[in-house]
Each structure stands twice: as C-alpha cells, then as structure tokens.
A and B are shown apart, each in its own frame.
Chain A
Amino acid sequence: MSKNAALSYLPRKSVVHRMTGTTKLAFFLLWSTAAMLTYDTRLLAAMTVGGLVLFGVSRIKLQEVKGALLFMLALVMLNLIAIFLFSPDQGTAIYGTRHVILPLFWRYNVTQETLFYLLNFFLKYSAVIPVALLFILATDPSEFAASLAGIGVSYKVGYAVALALRYIPDVQRDFHNISQAQQARGVDLSAKDKTMTRLKNSAAILLPLVLSSLSRIETISNAMELRGFGKHKKRTWYVKRPFQARDWAAMALAAAVLAVSLGITLTTGSRYFNPFVS
C-alpha cells in the first residue's frame, strides 16, 4: 500500500502557499476550464510554461513529484498510442489537409497533421498538470471546505468533502485490518485465485467495511446533529483567511487566461490553431 502513496500537502514558505485556499481552488478551476475549451497550440504552450513557472515559485521540487509525473506521462503516452492505433488520420479529420511523412503499412501513415494533433493533445494535459499538482500539494486540506464555501458551494457539500478527507485514513486502516483478518481465515485476494472468486472474496472484505462505515455514519451524524449542524443557512470557518492583493492578482490572471481562451475561439470561430492552411 505504501508503494503508491497518494499525493498530499507539502507545507512550504512560498507565495503560492500563502494564498488563500479559495484562490487556489478558483485558479485551478478557471485554468482547467480554459485548457478544456481551447485546442489552440500557442495558448496551450503558454499555459504549460506558465504552469511550470508557478510550480517553480511554489518551491516544490520536481523531484518530489517525480512518481506522479512519470505516471501521468505514461498515461498520456498510452492515450496517444491508442489514438494513433484507432484513428491514424485523426489529424486530417481535424485540420483538413494531409501531408504524409512516413508511410508505414496498411492504413497507418504518419502524417504531419496527426503528429500535430497528438502534440496538441499532449499540451492539453501538460497545461493543466502543473497547476493541478500545485493545487493538491500547496493547499492545506483543512482549508478545503472553507475554500469550497468561498467559491459559493453549499457549506453542507463543503462539509461532506471535509469529512471524506478526514475519514480516508480511517477507512484505509479499517480496510487493511479487515483484509488481513479475512486473509488469515483463508479468503484469498491474490492472483492465485480465479478472477470471479476474487471479486466475490472482495465482497467478503467489503461487507464488514460497509457495516462499520454505516455505523460510523450513524455516530457522526448524531454528534453533528447534537451540535446543531445545518441549523443556519450560513456558517463561518475557523481557517478562512481574508483576501490579499496577491489573491486578487492570481484570480485576475486565471480569469484573463480563460478570457483569452474564449476570445480566440470566438474571434477565429474555431478551437484549433491550424498551421496547414495559411
């Protein structure tokens, strides 16, 4: 379980860390929306560079996220290969022209258009990944619920998220204990058994986990109800910090990127930057 440890908060002293959670959440959402909407190579490349600069500012070292980066790279590469295998002429379908560089076999020809499309696909991820990583690594989890409330999400939903983050370690520990106990009784989850048996066996582990979780829900909701949770329409947050100039600047930057993304699409009438027809 420890070998693929999930990414978590890395406290540092940097401008990015000092920004409020609300800013980081809003920045991340605006930024990834901008990247989703556009397919413009220039903008995506600029966003990739911008994201990497912000990453540098945060004083988190690339070395610390090497595992995650390699994993994402492998996943994106797998996608790129799958796209080429399923549709080697996807580039032509989008950009209209066809310049073959390297004819392979059967329908597989490497064209400039498809290579360019695959490059854009890669950029679409590389534009978001640094900012997403930054959001995960530089936001204190205890600020998470407050930041959701900050962007206008109902505080009950924010509280549900906070509860999820709070109970993930507990559920994980329960799962581990139950699975060890069941394995000691001969319930096999390893590759020695057939897949269907393994699925059924996993239910033997999940059932105690679900029942203990249901009783936990009972306990927590009683405790919250006794303290009057949900009585008022609004609530305040202990960790909430006031906005400062740097927060407004970051929000303005993200909003500007989104505006450029929308602007390019609306003025040129296309999401794509097409270098093949000039």
Chain B
Amino acid sequence: MKKMSVKTVVAIGIGAALFFVLGRFVAIPVPFVPNTTFSLQYGILGLFAALFGPIAGMLIGFIGHTLIDLSWGSPWWSWIIASTCFGLMVGLFTRKLDLESGSFGKKEILTFNLAQIASHAISWLVIALALDMAIYAEPFAKVLTQGITATILNSIATGVVGTLLIMAYAKTRTKKGSLNKE
C-alpha cells in the first residue's frame, strides 16, 4: 500500500467508475430465474485485477460495489466484502500472466478462468455466506442457494466477458519478440 504508483491510483478510480456504471445501469437478465441478472462488472474487474494487480483489484471491488449499494440506498457489507476479496484473489492468482506483452493463448485463458472461478467460489460460497450468517443470522439453506447461484452466474459472466476482453486487449499489445531480423 505504501508504494502505490500514481497509475494504480488512477486505475482504481477509473476501474471503480466502470464497475459502478456496469453494475448499476447494465443488466442482462438470466433466463428462467426471475430477478437475477448477469453481473458484467466482474468481467471488467477480472481484467483490471489481472492488469493492475491484487491491490487495485481489491480496491476497485470495494469502492465500486460500495458506490453501487449506496446509490440504491444502503450497503450490504457482506457482499461488498465478497467483491473486495474477488478482486484481490483474481489479482493474486493471475500474477504470472503478462498481458502487457500481448501473450494470451490457450494456457493463459485456462489460468485466468480457473483463477476467476476459484475466486468467485471462495467469495460467494465462503465469504459472503459466512458473513451473511454471522451478521444477519440467515438460514444456511438460503445463503447456500444464494452463494451457488452467484458463483455460477458470475463465473459465466466473467468467463465470457472477461476472457473476450482480455483476448482483444492482448491483441492490441505488441508481442514480445515480434520483430524478426532479416
């Protein structure tokens, strides 16, 4: 935290603004399940966490989710903390990826998706669930159902949107060793 670069600070701000706009105003409803939507913002959060690291991911999740909740009227801290952890974990798990140099092949796609699914599972099935039970004393069956639904839906949204975004982003970067001596 002490050595946070100016770029990271700005990336957190803009990332949180993107997270907010997508989470607040863009909704793609899930078929067959009423009142649920795909959360596209986690695709963006995945990309930013992979690009700017775990601290940026963590703070984008925290600030973005808090702003969304406040704009509705009241914060749900258990879910905000889950989003925070998601950003942190994706950032940690994707440390090995080098997107800046444009390498995003099959292996990297697999790494990113395993990272995001594992992070979603830990965030929604462990953290959000435990906090909902601790803070609100909600019944286990209900929070478990919520956690499973959130994990599956968010993983799909992040998998499709996040992967497509990173693939396209990597294509815009110059590959390492792309110059040939003739």
Task: Check: A1 CB closer than 8 A to any chain B CB.
Answer: yes
A83 touches B138 (CB 8 A): yes
Shortest distance from the beta carbon of A89 to any chain B beta carbon, whole Å: 9
> Quick one: CB contact mask for A187-223 with B, threshold 8 Å, 1 for yes?
0010100011011101100110111011011101100
Shortest distance from the beta carbon of B17 to any chain A beta carbon, whole Å: 4
A211 touches B169 (CB 8 A): yes
Q: How many residues of B contact A (CB 8 A)?
A: 60
A168 to B38, CA, bound (A): 21
State the total of A-B contacts with C-beta under 8 angstroms: 193
Task: Check: B85 CB closer than 8 A to any chain A CB.
Answer: no
Task: Check: B12 CB closer than 8 A to any chain A CB.
Answer: yes
**Chain B residues within 8 Å of A15, by CB:** none
B-contacting 9-mer, from A98-106, A151-159, A244-252, A260-268: A151-159
| CB-CB under 8 A for A199 and B73, given A156-B4, A171-B18 | no
Within 8 A of A (CB), among B18-40: 18, 20-22, 24-26, 28-31, 35, 38, 40
A132 touches B75 (CB 8 A): yes
Residue of A nearest to B41 (CB): A206
A221 to B12, CA, bound (A): 11
A157 to B141, CA, bound (A): 37
Q: Which of these, B28, B43, B63, B168, contacts A198 with CB under 8 Å? A: B28
Task: Check: A164 CB closer than 8 A to any chain B CB.
Answer: yes
Shortest distance from the beta carbon of A232 to any chain B beta carbon, whole Å: 13
Residue of A nearest to B142 (CB): A86
**Chain B residues within 8 Å of A36, by CB:** 77, 135
> Quick one: CB contact mask for A114-145 with B, threshold 8 Å, 1 for yes?
00010001001100110011011000000000
**Chain A residues within 8 Å of B152, by CB:** none
B13 touches A1 (CB 8 A): no
Task: Check: B16 CB closer than 8 A to any chain A CB.
Answer: yes
Shortest distance from the beta carbon of B154 to any chain A beta carbon, whole Å: 12
| CB-CB under 8 A for A78 and B35, given A87-B142, A133-B73, A163-B17 | yes
B31 touches A195 (CB 8 A): yes
Task: Check: A72 CB closer than 8 A to any chain B CB.
Answer: yes
**Chain B residues within 8 Å of A221, by CB:** 6-7, 9-11
Task: Check: B157 CB closer than 8 A to any chain A CB.
Answer: yes
A121 to B145, CA, bound (A): 19
Which 10 pairs between the two chains have the least Cβ-Cβ distance?
A: A163-B13, A87-B139, A6-B71, A164-B16, A86-B142, A160-B12, A203-B164, A68-B73, A221-B10, A86-B141
